[in-house]
Amino acid sequence: MAQLTDRIAVVTGASRGIGRAVALELARRGATVVVNYQSSADAANQVIEAIQSGGAQAMAFQADVSQEEGANNLIKAAVDTYGKIDILVNNAGTTRDNVIMLMGAADFDTVINTNLRSTWLCSKAAVRSMMRKRYGRIVNMTSISGVAGNAGQTNYSASKAGIIGLTKALAREVAARNITVNAVAPGFVLTDLTSSLPEDITKKINENIPLGRWGTVEDVAQATAFLVSDEAAYVTGHVLQVDGGMAM
Ligand code: NAP
């Protein structure tokens, strides 16, 4: 199943969790993958080793993608090394949960910058190269919190709803250049991001998932791999919920 042979992919926040699974899946399908991380160099190198032992090419690249310089350097490194960028998965993300009365403005800014600003910055940098090649696939990692809203996550839900608006606007802007822009909206997936949720909240979440289980990182990776494939050539501006039916 090497449908992504000769494709160059950049995955932000690919050292851990969902981004790691996306990087591994794209590589398994034949893509060359640039594995971005912010601080987990060892984890990123393990992803590179796993990809290379499977026979695909990969490189790790440290960059804080919430900063313009970091985002530009990441995309430039991919284009300088491999000559182009076909696929961009804007996955890097974080949370600073609290009820609004107890949430500081700094936690609002951190979440908006890490989740939304990074998506805009990396997309802007990548689209320049994609337009020249008249080919591109962008997938933005949103969340059902951005679709339905989630108490205790005004910052996170705003960032993820913003990503949905960005996805649709950019999809319209670049469609004529054969670039598609879609979003994946996971429900609850067990990663470092969700591992500290209190037991009572976890129990309540489980009761609201029609398929009766949390998602896996592979569930999200498979949906992402579809959206960057040639099979999804006529899909753009779409938000694909991978949530066990939670937000339908
Ligand atoms: P995670 O396990 O906490 O991993 C986050 C990844 O993002 C790490 O690789 C981290 O790099 C990277 N990162 C964070 N800030 C960054 C920055 N400024 N620049 C570059 N990389 C940065 O999170 P996850 O659960 O896999 O989540 C991945 C995405 O899915 C996020 O956008 C999240 O909002 C979304 N999502 C997750 C769930 C869920 O249930 N887990 C549900 C819906 C949506 P380092 O390792 O170097 O820190």
Q: What is the mean pLDDT of residues 73-101?
A: 98
The overall average pLDDT reported for the chain is 97
User: Which of 16, 184, 216, 220 most suits a substitution to test ligand 1, by most atoms within 8 Å of the C-beta?
Assistant: 16
Model pLDDT, residue 184: 99
**219 CB less than 6 Å from ligand 1?**
no
Atom of ligand 1 nearest to the CA of 17: 26
Q: Dig out the tokens for 120 from the structure.
A: 């805009």
Question: CA end-to-end span of the chain, whole Å?
Answer: 31
Residue 82 annotated as catalytic: no
Statement: residue 2 has pLDDT above 60: no
User: Which of 11, 15, 18, 218 most suits a substitution to test ligand 1, by most atoms within 8 Å of the C-beta?
Assistant: 18
Atom of ligand 1 nearest to the CA of 114: 18
Q: What is the mean pLDDT of residues 52-81?
A: 98
**Contact partners, residue 172, CB within 8 Å, separation at least 6:** 237
d(CA 104, CA 43): 31
Vertex 117: Cα angle to 97 and 193 (nearest 5)? 35
Statement: residue 112 has pLDDT above 60: yes
Q: Dig out the tokens for 160 from the structure.
A: 């993820």
Residue nearest to atom 44 of ligand 1 (CA): 143
157 pLDDT tier (thresholds 50, 70, 90)? very high
**88 CB less than 6 Å from ligand 1?**
no
d(CA 175, CA 136): 9
Name the residue with higher pLDDT: 208 or 203: 208
**36 CB less than 6 Å from ligand 1?**
yes
Q: What is the mean pLDDT of residues 163-189?
A: 98
> CA torsion sign, 8 to 14 to 20 to 22?
negative
| Length of the chain measured in residues | 248
The CA 107 to ligand 1 mean position distance, Å, reads 16
Least confident of 34-43, 69-78, 206-215: 206-215
Residue nearest to atom 12 of ligand 1 (CA): 13
**Tokens 């300088």, residue located:** 80
**64 CB less than 6 Å from ligand 1?**
yes
Q: What is the mean pLDDT of residues 202-231?
A: 94
Statement: residue 174 has pLDDT above 90: yes
Domains and CATH numbers, the chain: 8-240 (3.40.50.720)
User: Which of 10, 33, 37, 145 most suits a substitution to test ligand 1, by most atoms within 8 Å of the C-beta?
Assistant: 37
Model pLDDT, residue 203: 82
* pTM greater than the 0.85 cutoff: yes
**Contact partners, residue 203, CB within 8 Å, separation at least 6:** none
d(CA 114, CA 44): 18
Cβ–Cβ contacts within 10 Å for residue 41, how many?
12
Model pLDDT, residue 1: 61
